[in-house]
Amino acid sequence: MVRPLAARAGSLLLTLWLVSALVFLAGQVLPGDVGRVMLGPFADAQAVAELNRKLGTDQPILAQYWHWFSRAISGDFGDSLSMRAPVAPFVVSSIKNSAALAGVVLLFLVPIGIGAGVVAGLRSGSLADRLIVLTGVSLSIVPDFVSGLLLLMVFGLWLAWFPITGAAPDGAGFWTSSYHLILPALPLVLNLIGYVARMTRAGVIEARAADYTRTAILKGLSPSQVLFKHVLRNALVPTVAVIATQSGFLLGGLVVIEALFGIQGLGNLVLSAAKARDFPMLEAGVLVMATIFVSTAAIGDLLQALLDPRQRRRNAP
Amino acid sequence: MTKRSDIDLLRGQSPRNPSRDIWNVAVDEYAQGFLKRRNLLKYAALLGLTGFAASQGLFTSGAARAAGAGGGTVRVGLGQPTKAIDPVTVTDPASIGVISQVGEYLILDDPKDGVQPKLALSWEADETAKRWTFKLRPGVKFHDGRAVTAKDVVATFERLVDPSTGSGALSAYKGILSKGGAKLVDDETVAFDLDQPNSNFPFYVSSDVFNAVILPADYAGDFEKNFIGTGPFKFESFRPKQGASFVRNADYWGDKALPDRVEIKFFDDEQAQVLALQAGQLDVIPSTTRLELAIEGNPNFKLLSVQASSHDEVHLRTDQAPFTDKRVRRALALTIDREAVVKGLLKGRAIVGNDTPFAPIFPSADPSVPQRKQDIEEAKRLLGEAGVPNGFEVTLTTERAYDIPDYAVLIQNFAKKAGIDIKLNVLPQDAYYGSATFGSSPWLDSNLGITDFGHRGTPDIFLNATLKSSGAWNAAHFNSPDYDALLVDYGKARDLQAQRVAAGKIQTLLLDETPLIIGYFSQYSRIVSSKVEGVRFTAISHLLLDKVSFV
């Protein structure tokens, strides 16, 4: 178990290093002189050159990369060009905002999605099953910005049950902040719920048809013991992997929902940094996003291995 | 008081210095109905007659109190500031909206009441209009309690004209004011020695140059830390990318603000702004055509507008085929039906332009210059004369912003009527501007393009930057010694009639040469909830909330 884990961690670090190099290179390829971007078109050439010297942007690319990389691994991403302040606090606050939103999404998605999938799987072929599958598929094809806008209009505007903006006022507590996130979370829940339910349903159907389930039933175990100890434990393996992957997406890929509900998450941070040609912010944001994607995928694999002994054996030497 | 005796009184107050002529001409024009009250005030202010004007009640409406109850929090939605909020470097409307809660200028160019003395009490020019002297208002304090002195004002302007600060005002001051030009006379007096005579200089230290907020002499570029200014509100909290709040400044030098607080939220999405307004979570938001449609006919909201000199400028590169021939340039301008553009595209919230930056709202514009109208036959005749009777193909490069892409399509259709085949190349806004320097900017390098220009209180910046041979924004690459000479005459003219004569010559020359097509000057609007009264704003995004009350 230790060696595969170490191998996995090694490949993870290699991926992140590659991403960091690519992002840094992409930043260099984009047109625009950093000093000129910061000082504007009317600054004189001398002032621009002086600033570039101060920032080190007049150095050879490898020297710049090493300078950036050596600081980045210790968590120092330098100063943002547009915000004229250290990048790290912006990244940390955007991760917090994204994580809060992802947390609320998972709070609804996991129990409802898995619950619906189990019901559909246990009664496969019934009206309830068809209803769940059809609803899930229909909801997943509605883009989140469309359902987001509809939900905003119905629950935010007409019924006024929820605040329109996802960002809670200054100094709001946990409950107020979570309340503000319900409306932004719903379109994402609706979008993903069908996927989670279908994965669970397929797992349940497969597990119920498996020999070990038949054996358990023949052993005379109660239906609930059969369900929780034998069916679900096996059926949920692929679902867990799916949820882990989706968590990565929830933490970094929600530009439209974040913009619509005014949430300053990671997606928004990277988008605005790209728009402002703010390379240090862009590089830090993309690197953090990549770290989240790669690590959530790894956590998914790990959970799958923990739940499924066969995979552990497969990975063993 | 009858109008006549009113006029006599105004005339009797003419100043002792050479400004007498300007003032008397302005009063005559006012008496004859050519000059509106607002523009008379502008002239009074330009000549330093503010004390007199105030005593005549000319400045009263700006100070009038709203009818509703004071107190409460005004909740504002704004776009996302594009960079750190710093008065010296900002260029985006959201940041200007935030800064106007705490920062003040020597002069406010109020769209309704004209030039209003703020941190400057009075000002006058010498005979050459090259040296201007400003007396500061005594007893004004920064939010940290320190008194505002001439030292702070000199430091503010020296910072703004220093190319190494990234100042957003460099383009405005280029050729007008240079480093060392602002001078300390005494604790309450500042003098400006200009690079060349300019009769409109008070506008250059007014809110029209939105970077010219008076900041402490030791300002270190960290405005977001405490938002120190002199304004009616002072800093309460700031969350980058999320919003800011301000509270009433109890030590304000003027009338204290009516609302207790102002709360500003930044939005990445305009749809989200209008939804929050509709849900009653905001009181004031910016306005766009799309948002105006969303609130049309709804009595819970009001659309407030001020006339502006903002315009979308079509440049025709005078040094590149096919526009080297002025007949070809005129032909393209003649294909456009300006009335139709104003009525259709801009929903009537604009006035027709005449291919010069002299918007009809500028008192110096010469109204006797004939208005260019659509004339397809004449356009075809000119093309024939220029040797391209069957028209030509050309690419129009522009930015994806505001109504510009639609305007480009309209121009494409109009031009087709004279046989001109326009291909469109619509770029994202930042790509279009590029580095904003010649050689690496589609804006400045394209053969034919459309660029948005925000409002200014005088046409000077447009005339200098976009049309002078050495202009930093001369996208038409217009090189006319005659024009450059007329521009100097215009700058020197201190009397309204002389200004108008110079303006008339410029307008006629530009109509003949047609380096630019300016089809309209659009209004600037904001959307507010009907529950609030007293929201004021300028056409360059200042948001003045000190007189807001709730009804």
ipTM of this complex prediction, to 2 decimal places: 0.79
Per-residue buried b or exposed e for A99-111, using 16+ beta carbons within 10 Å of the residue's own CB: bbbbebbbebbbe
In this structure, the answer to whether residues B92 and B40 fall within a common structural domain is no
Whether B273 maps to a domain, the answer reads yes
pLDDT at position B350 is: 93
pLDDT at position B55 is: 45
CB-based contact A84 B221, cutoff 8 Å = yes
Q: Name the band, by pLDDT with cuts 50, 70 and 90, for residue B66.
A: very low
In this structure, the answer to whether residues B392 and B494 fall within a common structural domain is yes
In chain A, the residue whose alpha carbon lies closest to the alpha carbon of B82 is A276
Single pTM value for the model? 0.81
In this structure, the answer to whether residues B356 and B492 fall within a common structural domain is yes
pLDDT at position B99 is: 97
In this structure, the answer to whether residues B321 and B461 fall within a common structural domain is yes
Residues of chain A with pLDDT under 70: 1, 29-32, 37, 40-44, 309-317
Whether B68 maps to a domain, the answer reads no
In this structure, the answer to whether residues B269 and B379 fall within a common structural domain is no
In this structure, the answer to whether residues B532 and B397 fall within a common structural domain is no
pLDDT at position A235 is: 83
CATH number of the domain that residue B474 is part of: 3.10.105.10
Whether B128 maps to a domain, the answer reads yes
Q: Name the band, by pLDDT with cuts 50, 70 and 90, for residue B2.
A: very low
Which residues of chain A have a CB within 8 Å of the CB of B82?
82, 272, 275-276
Least CB–CB distance from B265: residue in A83, A165, A277: A165
- Across the A/B interface, how many CB contacts are shorter than 8 Å? 109
In chain B, the residue whose alpha carbon lies closest to the alpha carbon of A39 is B166
Per-residue pLDDT tens digits for B106-144: 999 887 777 889 999 999 888 888 999 999 999 999 999
Tokens (6 digits) for B375: 């004339």
| Pairwise CA distance, residues B458 & B277, whole Å | 34
Q: What percentage of chain B has pLDDT greater than the value 70?
A: 88
Give the mean pLDDT of B458-473: 88
In this structure, the answer to whether residues B431 and B355 fall within a common structural domain is yes
In this structure, the answer to whether residues B245 and B368 fall within a common structural domain is no
Q: Which residue has the tokens 């900002």?
A: B90
Q: Name the band, by pLDDT with cuts 50, 70 and 90, for residue B195.
A: very high
User: Are the C-beta atoms of residues B532 and B285 closer than 8 Å to each other?
Assistant: no
Q: What is the 3-state secondary structure (H, E, C) of B102-156?
A: HCCCCEEEECCCEEEECCEEEEEECCCCCEEEEEECCCCECCCCCECCHHHHHHH
Using DSSP's 3-state secondary structure scheme, residue A86 falls into strand
Whether B69 maps to a domain, the answer reads no
Whether B62 maps to a domain, the answer reads no
In this structure, the answer to whether residues B297 and B430 fall within a common structural domain is no
By mean pLDDT, which of A73-87, B34-48, B354-368, B492-506 is the weakest?
B34-48
**B171 at interface of A, judged by CB pairs closer than 8 A:** yes
Range B38-45, long-range pairs (CB < 8 A, 24+ positions): B38/B112, B38/B113, B38/B114, B39/B114, B39/B363, B40/B10, B41/B113, B41/B114, B41/B115, B42/B114, B42/B115, B42/B363, B43/B363, B43/B496, B45/B107, B45/B114, B45/B115, B45/B116, B45/B117, B45/B202
Residue to test with chain B: of A48, A149, A164, most B Cβ within 10 A: A164
User: Are the C-beta atoms of residues B260 and B73 closer than 8 Å to each other?
Assistant: yes
CB-based contact B275 A153, cutoff 8 Å = yes
Residue to test with chain B: of A46, A152, A170, A263, most B Cβ within 10 A: A170
Q: Is the peptide bond before B163 cis (omega within 30 degrees of 0)?
A: no
Which residues of chain B have a CB within 8 Å of the CB of A33?
435
**A298 at interface of B, judged by CB pairs closer than 8 A:** no
pLDDT at position A41 is: 60
B541: left (phi over 0), alpha (psi -120 to 50) or beta: left
Whether B70 maps to a domain, the answer reads no
Whether B74 maps to a domain, the answer reads no
Tell me which amino acid residue B64 is: A
**B267 at interface of A, judged by CB pairs closer than 8 A:** yes
In this structure, the answer to whether residues B455 and B331 fall within a common structural domain is yes
CB-based contact A164 B168, cutoff 8 Å = no
Which residues of chain A have a CB within 8 Å of the CB of B276?
164-165
> In A123-173, which residue ranges form alpha helices assigned H by DSSP?
127-140, 144-151
Whether B55 maps to a domain, the answer reads no
In chain B, the residue whose alpha carbon lies closest to the alpha carbon of A94 is B241
Chain mean pLDDT for chain B: 88
Going B394 to B399 to B400 to B404, the CA torsion angle's sign is negative
In this structure, the answer to whether residues B147 and B213 fall within a common structural domain is yes
Q: Which residue has the higher pLDDT, A33 or B377?
A: B377
Per-residue pLDDT tens digits for B22-60: 666 666 667 666 566 666 766 666 665 554 554 454 444
Per-residue pLDDT tens digits for B85-102: 999 998 888 999 999 999
Contacting residues for B499 by C-beta, under 8 A, at least 6 apart: B199, B364, B490, B493
**B61 at interface of A, judged by CB pairs closer than 8 A:** no
**A82 at interface of B, judged by CB pairs closer than 8 A:** yes
CB-based contact A32 B435, cutoff 8 Å = yes
CB-based contact B268 A276, cutoff 8 Å = no
| Pairwise CA distance, residues A42 & A27, whole Å | 23
pLDDT at position B18 is: 45
Q: What are phi and psi of B393, to 5 degrees?
A: -105, 140
CATH number of the domain that residue B533 is part of: 3.40.190.10
Last residue of a domain, one of B201, B224, B247: B224
Nearest in space to B35 (alpha carbons), one of B326, B362, B521, B345: B362
Count of domains for chain B? 4
Q: What is the dihedral of CA B533, B534, B539, B540, to 10 degrees?
A: -110
Which residues of chain A have a CB within 8 Å of the CB of B240?
83, 85, 90
By mean pLDDT, which of A164-178, B144-158, B188-202, B495-509 is the weakest?
A164-178
Tokens (6 digits) for B227: 């938002």
**B440 at interface of A, judged by CB pairs closer than 8 A:** yes
In this structure, the answer to whether residues B340 and B425 fall within a common structural domain is yes
| Pairwise CA distance, residues A290 & B38, whole Å | 58
Least CB–CB distance from A39: residue in B91, B166, B265: B166
- Closest-CA distance, A25 to chain B, in angstroms, reads 20
Least CB–CB distance from A160: residue in B242, B266, B279: B279
- Closest-CA distance, B436 to chain A, in angstroms, reads 6
Q: Which residue has the tokens 């009804």?
A: B551
In chain A, the residue whose alpha carbon lies closest to the alpha carbon of B279 is A157
Range of the domain at B448: 311-523
- Closest-CA distance, A167 to chain B, in angstroms, reads 8
**A33 at interface of B, judged by CB pairs closer than 8 A:** yes
| Pairwise CA distance, residues B25 & B354, whole Å | 26
Tell me which amino acid residue B285 is: I
Per-residue pLDDT tens digits for B10-20: 666 655 544 55
